[in-house]
Amino acid sequence: MTDSSPVGSNRIPANPRRDDRTPGGPPIASIELPTAVPLSVYDLTVAYHRKPVLWDVGFDVPAGTMVAVVGPNGAGKSTLLKAIMDLTPRASGRIHVFGDTYRRNRHRVGYVPQRESVDWDFPIDVLDVVTMGLYGQIGWCLPVRRKHRLAAMEALEQVGIADLAHRQISQLSGGQQQRTFLARALVQNADLYLMDEPFAAVDAATERAIVRILHTMKDHGKTAIVIHHDLQTVPEYFDYVVLLNMRIVAHGPVEVIFTAENLQKTYGGRLTLLDEVTEAMRRRERSL
Amino acid sequence: MMFGSFAWDWALDGWIVTTGILCAISATLLGNFLVLRRMSMLGDAISHAVLPGLAAAFLISNSRSSLPMFIGAVIVGILTALFTEWIRGIGKVDEGASMGVVFTSLFALGLVMVVQAADHVDLDPGCVLYGAIELTPLDTIPVAGLSIPRSAITLSIVTLINALFVSIFYKELKISSFDPALSTTTGFHAGLIHYALMTLVAVTAVASFESVGNILVVAMFIVPPCAAYLLADRIGTMITISVGIAVASAVLGHISAVVVPTWFGYHSTSTAGMMAVAAGLIFVLSAILGPRHGIFVKLARRHALSWRILTEDVISLLYRLRERNDATIPNRANLQAMLLTGNVATRVVLGWLTHRGDIRSTVGCYQLTDQGETRARSLVRSHRLWEQYLVSLAGGTVDRIHDKAEQLEHFTDRQLRERLDAETETPQIDPHGSHIPPEK
């Protein structure tokens, strides 16, 4: 188990296969796509009310990596995840999941939304929420069966809250809510996980539980793309990083890309020209 | 059955109540999901907005109860949901405001049309609001030798459709209400389910509109599910209870519409209105008596808490008296005077503590047992650690920390004490100079 205090102590042994990858290379969406690539984003642009949120975003994610998406507030991190899953319309760009469209490979993608995105007073229990991860496999109109509940129980055991299975969800603490969501993603048994700030405001025990699960996922050759805020722990928890601030600032293996200079570009160097043109567009629209 | 001067007539009252029950059940079944999706207002909006559709179809076809009329109204109802989304998008206002814009405009338009139509055809603007459920037994259709009211047949079909919808798509409704994003990503398009639900809301509103008026269906979409939400903590239970409440409101509503006004020397009043009032009363009862959020339960919890605090105060007082070798004899009268409580409360608390084995009495004097001693020491330790914490870390002054610590000590467990101890660097004495007893 990784301790959360020393930064980057296990970097090298955790990533033995680093050398044969080309860090930060061009997106390969334009050439023949191997189905082994879990996610390939090419030229993605997303705008809300004409205001661009993501510009020309492109990157590939190698299989079996834990990827941190890092960037300041409003950098479009959540939008990126939503655009990958077709939850947000995109102005342009292509997204390939295991070499095909998201729609075709939807069953291979698990999503862990932000904890605040749902109503925790909803009258259901923890097991119900976890079972929802299986609804896709169960299919339209068919009922939840015993085997599904058993699978959900197993996932709850993995995240260490099996004893809370029959609690109503309003009685959970923040960390327990996050574990519930994680169990729901685990039960989907996906190959690519998209997680929106799973570490936000959780207790130390939950943080360790999440890290442990990420490690297990990696050991099983799964890929996770995780929006992460705590820069301190990025080198320790992840082996690949995407630095995002409306555009991709840099992406690649943590030890190559996660540098002070790149972080400065991501957080400090605001894209002033883009901001200005956006503002000009909005003024123009209002005056019309 | 007799209620004063009121004689139950199955051919009349039976059908009126049946129609009311059918309307109530069909609306409530869908209403559960409106409430859970926090879009209760949309049910309200759609039930109002179908009016211009009804009126337009009525003006065109010049007849009531035709299929085009039905379809026209349902389409307008669905448009309400679409318009609401659209106005929210372009107007940058919240959903409530955009809904308000859409449905009041449409309802007003409908009223204007109805008033116009009323000049040359038989359509009563008054009926729009509270309907004519009392007249349903008069408009019958012969089915298998029985003459069954037309609206009862329509509403049975709608109830059946809604019940099938909710039971067949139960899982899908649940996931899309709780987590629309997950629903869409696992293949159950949340928008699709939303509009399916809205279509049925519109169908239910239109089917109910003419026979039972607008007020009943609006109430039944929302009130029984809300009451059930207070009583249940599982969605299945909530739906079951809400249907029970819907049925009860329909029955009680009709009876009280006929009976209650006669007590005051009036004629019977609007049945549909009374059904809605009955539902409202049941909601008030659930709010008072509910097991989780009910007012009674909250009161009871507060009482239980104040009793617990009093018992804890007694044992920590006994501990302090002994600690400072106080000469006061710890009998009931003295304890009562020091705790500033009533006679009865002191008796109850001392009895309870003796029963629990925290104290024992010898010739009227109370003493802590070993078990009571341990409890009391934890309390006193919590109190003094808090005082130390408040002074050394929270910037409190020595003369003003006692009351705060007195409150906090009752909510401090061992784990919290250990953290307090660590943060205050394991003090031996508190700011008042009293010794802080060790944990054990």
Burial class (CB in 10 A: 0-12, 13-18, 19+), B204: buried
Q: Are the Cβ atoms of A117 and B174 closer than 8 angstroms?
A: no
Model pTM? Answer: 0.80
What is residue A274's predicted lDDT score, i.e. its pLDDT? 55
Q: Quick check: A24 pLDDT over 60?
A: no
Q: Are the Cβ atoms of B171 and A82 closer than 8 angstroms?
A: no
pLDDT > 70: what percent of chain B? 94
Axis crossing angle, helix B40-61 with helix B95-120, rounded to the nearest 10: 30
What is residue B93's predicted lDDT score, i.e. its pLDDT? 80
Q: Quick check: A10 pLDDT over 60?
A: no
Amino acid identity at B249: S
C-alpha A33, offset from chain centre: 22
Give kind and range of the element (H or E) at residue A70. strand A66-70
CA distance A152 to A148: 6
Q: Which residues of B224-246 are buried (b: 16+ CB within 10 A; e: fewer)?
A: bbbbbbbbbbebeebbebbbbbb
Number of residues that make up chain B: 440
Domains and CATH numbers, chain B: 12-218 (1.10.3470.10), 298-368 (1.10.10.10), 373-423 (1.10.60.10)
- Cβ-Cβ contacts under 8 Å, A188 against chain B: 186
Do B192 and B68 meet the contact criterion of CB atoms below 8 Å apart?
no
- Cβ-Cβ contacts under 8 Å, B178 against chain A: 118-119, 122, 124, 129, 132
Q: Quick check: A13 pLDDT over 50?
A: no
What sign for the dihedral angle of Cα A131, A132, A137, A142? positive
Distances (CA, A) of A121 to A274, B182, B284, B319, B397: 41, 17, 20, 43, 41
pLDDT tens track for A224-274? 999 998 888 898 899 999 999 889 999 999 989 888 888 888 887 555 555
- Cβ-Cβ contacts under 8 Å, A128 against chain B: 174, 235
Do A91 and A46 meet the contact criterion of CB atoms below 8 Å apart?
yes
End-to-end CA distance of chain B: 71
CA distance B25 to B163: 9
- B87 to chain A, minimum CA–CA distance in Å? 14
Taking residue A28's Cβ as centre, other Cβ atoms within 10 Å add up to 15
What is residue A68's predicted lDDT score, i.e. its pLDDT? 95
Q: Are the Cβ atoms of B178 and A122 closer than 8 angstroms?
A: yes
What ipTM was assigned to the predicted interfaces of this complex? Answer: 0.81
Q: For testing the chain B interface, which of A141, A187, A203 should be mutated: the one with the most B CBs within 10 Å?
A: A141
- A171 to chain B, minimum CA–CA distance in Å? 11
CA distance B432 to B409: 16
C-alpha B199, offset from chain centre: 26
Q: Are the Cβ atoms of B186 and A143 closer than 8 angstroms?
A: no
Q: For testing the chain B interface, which of A115, A119, A194 should be mutated: the one with the most B CBs within 10 Å?
A: A119
Strand pairing report for A247-253 and A240-245:
antiparallel
User: Which residue, chain included where needed, has tokens 């002994």?
Assistant: B322
CA distance A275 to A262: 20
Strand pairing report for B140-143 and B6-7:
unpaired
pLDDT band for position A16 (50/70/90)? very low
User: Which residue, chain included where needed, has tokens 């079944």?
Assistant: B29
CA distance B63 to B123: 10
Q: For testing the chain A interface, which of B167, B171, B173 should be mutated: the one with the most A CBs within 10 Å?
A: B171
- B241 to chain A, minimum CA–CA distance in Å? 13
Do A178 and A202 meet the contact criterion of CB atoms below 8 Å apart?
yes
What is residue B430's predicted lDDT score, i.e. its pLDDT? 85
Residue ranges of the alpha helices (H) in A191-271?
204-219, 234-237, 254-257, 260-263
- A272 to chain B, minimum CA–CA distance in Å? 26
Q: Are the Cβ atoms of A140 and B234 closer than 8 angstroms?
A: no
User: Which residue, chain included where needed, has tokens 């599982």?
Assistant: B234
- Cβ-Cβ contacts under 8 Å, A86 against chain B: 184
C-alpha A87, offset from chain centre: 14
Q: For testing the chain B interface, which of A106, A135, A225 should be mutated: the one with the most B CBs within 10 Å?
A: A135
CA distance B417 to B438: 11
**Nearest C-alpha in A relative to B233:** A123
Bridge partners, A252 (sequence order): A241
User: What letter would DSSP give residue B433?
Assistant: S
What is residue B83's predicted lDDT score, i.e. its pLDDT? 87
* Contacts of B315 by beta carbon, 8 Å cutoff, 6+ apart: B353, B358, B359, B368, B372, B375, B376, B379
Closest in A124, A132, A168 to B182, CB measured: A132
What sign for the dihedral angle of Cα A53, A59, A60, A66? negative
Q: Are the Cβ atoms of B172 and A140 closer than 8 angstroms?
A: yes
The C-alpha angle with vertex A211 and arms to A206 and A212, in degrees rounded to 5, equals 95
Q: Are the Cβ atoms of B182 and A143 closer than 8 angstroms?
A: no
pLDDT tens track for A79-128? 999 999 999 999 999 999 998 999 999 999 999 999 999 999 999 999 99
CA distance A109 to B251: 51
CA distance B66 to A115: 49
Q: Quick check: A144 pLDDT over 70?
A: yes
Give pLDDT tens digits along chain B (440 positions). 445 556 777 778 888 899 999 999 999 999 999 999 988 888 888 888 888 888 887 777 766 666 777 888 888 888 888 888 888 778 778 878 888 888 889 889 988 888 877 666 556 666 666 677 777 787 788 887 788 888 899 899 999 999 999 999 999 999 999 999 999 998 899 999 999 999 999 999 988 877 777 888 889 999 999 999 999 989 999 999 999 999 999 999 999 988 888 888 777 778 888 999 999 999 999 999 888 778 888 888 888 888 999 999 999 999 999 888 888 888 888 888 888 888 899 999 999 999 999 999 888 889 899 999 999 999 999 999 888 888 888 777 888 888 888 888 888 888 888 888 888 888 888 888 888 888 87
Q: Are the Cβ atoms of B171 and A117 closer than 8 angstroms?
A: no
Give kind and range of the element (H or E) at residue A252. strand A247-253
Distances (CA, A) of A77 to A70, B28, B388: 8, 40, 45
pLDDT > 70: what percent of chain A? 81
- A169 to chain B, minimum CA–CA distance in Å? 9
Closest in B184, B188, B234 to A124, CB measured: B234
Q: Are the Cβ atoms of B181 and A136 closer than 8 angstroms?
A: no
Q: Are the Cβ atoms of A124 and B36 closer than 8 angstroms?
A: no
Which string of DSSP letters, residue by residue, matches A40-66? EEEEEEEEETTEEEEEEEEEEE-TT-E
pLDDT band for position A19 (50/70/90)? very low
Q: Are the Cβ atoms of A135 and B233 closer than 8 angstroms?
A: no
Q: Quick check: A196 pLDDT over 90?
A: yes
Q: Are the Cβ atoms of B181 and A132 closer than 8 angstroms?
A: no
Closest in A87, A118, A123 to B235, CB measured: A123
Closest in B36, B179, B184 to A132, CB measured: B179
Q: Which residues of B5-41 are buried (b: 16+ CB within 10 A; e: fewer)?
A: eeeeeeeebebbbbbbbbbbbbbbbbbbbbbbbebbb
Number of residues that make up chain A: 288
What is residue B411's predicted lDDT score, i.e. its pLDDT? 86
Closest in B175, B229, B233 to A135, CB measured: B175
Axis crossing angle, helix B150-168 with helix B170-178, rounded to the nearest 10: 70
Do A127 and A165 meet the contact criterion of CB atoms below 8 Å apart?
yes
Do B259 and B8 meet the contact criterion of CB atoms below 8 Å apart?
no
The C-alpha angle with vertex B131 and arms to B127 and B133, in degrees rounded to 5, equals 135
**Nearest C-alpha in B relative to A136:** B186
Instruction: Please enumerate residues of A whose Cβ is less than 8 A from a Cβ of B.
Output: 82, 85-87, 106-107, 109, 111, 113, 117-119, 122-125, 128-129, 132-133, 135-136, 138, 140-144, 168, 170, 184, 188
**Structure tokens belonging to residue B397:** 């002054």
